[in-house]
Structure 1
């Protein structure tokens, strides 16, 4: 079963995890003047979008140059997603404590919080599985980045309305869903491996 536009968008949203990134962005932007925060958030989201877009269009060439197969990408992507999901369910306390006295640029907000290894692996996987549907994947990525931008721009209001405990609980739930997605990817990879093995 291949991905659809909707499932690809949901998968990218689970991986970029805008709700889970709210505390990280809040801490990173703590020393940035209030009037500049929206501009910084939009800039970081745009940088992440451009990087993921570049991987989406150059992904097949990257796979060929590195000598990687769709099978290795399937299994490797599943493992990375599984580890990311575990981190969402059991976060490290220091994860949200990264504070800087200077305005963040690219690191850590655009990379790796939005365009991390798991997001890069996912766009490569989408293109590798169905290169003829590249425009569909671009649309899914665009929707994902737009949602990320809106959520992060409204971060303070969301935290105030929902409370940190509700945001954290929702992130745990998304982590559980991502565990199921990653296990499904691993199962598909094992099936592909079994089919390729000589009987």
Structure 2
């Protein structure tokens, strides 16, 4: 029973995180930024630094989430409703085939001046591990009281961070094979999945808040 809960939690968090992060949708931005790289090794290093920054960011918020809730006097249900609304807004933008403006702005992209800064801002934060993914890990980490449930959330963070590295280091091949149309199609599909998860998050938050 506990093992089943572990896999259910892992699959749900992994699916939500991957849809929110949408590393495939981030490929065009990554390719425009790697013009700063002077070698293939530099591009690989940038992809690696970005994935590590994503993992560290999400892990930090996952571990500190419950403390943040207590500090600001917020409940998990209230945060779930707010997070669901945020995710739904992002999903609507993804359904239009666009990279969410909640995640990145042109100003943030232009401010990066070296590889170390680019890997953290804007690639890791807020392009990939933005408000949506941070909200997701905080909510699910707080909702799972058992150590097995929390381990499932951490495993989902680890695997999605690794997939970010895999996709970014193969960014040129991904764009060549999928093309801009293919990337937009996948972004729309991710947006549809994210929209359904966002609605469910709001429903669960309302049920918990009103004891339904």
- Counterpart of 2:12 (choices 2, 7, 22) is 7
Number of residue pairs the alignment of both structures matches: 195
The corresponding residue for 1:194 is: 210
User: Residue 56 of structure 1: SS of its match in structure 2?
Assistant: helix
Over 3 Å counting, the alpha-carbon distance change for 1:93 and 1:75 in structure 2 is: closer
1:102-129 residue CA offsets vs partner (Å, 9 max, x unmatched):
3324110010012111111111001111
Are 2:135 and 1:121 aligned?
yes
1:140 deviates by 0.9
Unmatched 5+ stretches in structure 1: none
1:127-148 residue CA offsets vs partner (Å, 9 max, x unmatched):
1110322111111111111111
Separation in 2, partners of 1:101, 1:70: 35
Unmatched 5+ stretches in structure 2: none
- Counterpart of 1:146 (choices 162, 170, 176) is 162
User: Residue 20 of structure 1: SS of its match in structure 2?
Assistant: coil
Matched-pair contact (CA < 8 Å) for 1:32–1:102: no
Matched-pair contact (CA < 8 Å) for 1:27–1:99: no
Q: TM-score, normalised by structure 1?
A: 0.89
Separation in 1, partners of 2:65, 2:209: 22
- Counterpart of 2:121 (choices 103, 107, 116) is 107
Matched-pair contact (CA < 8 Å) for 2:112–2:121: no
Q: TM-score, normalised by structure 2?
A: 0.84
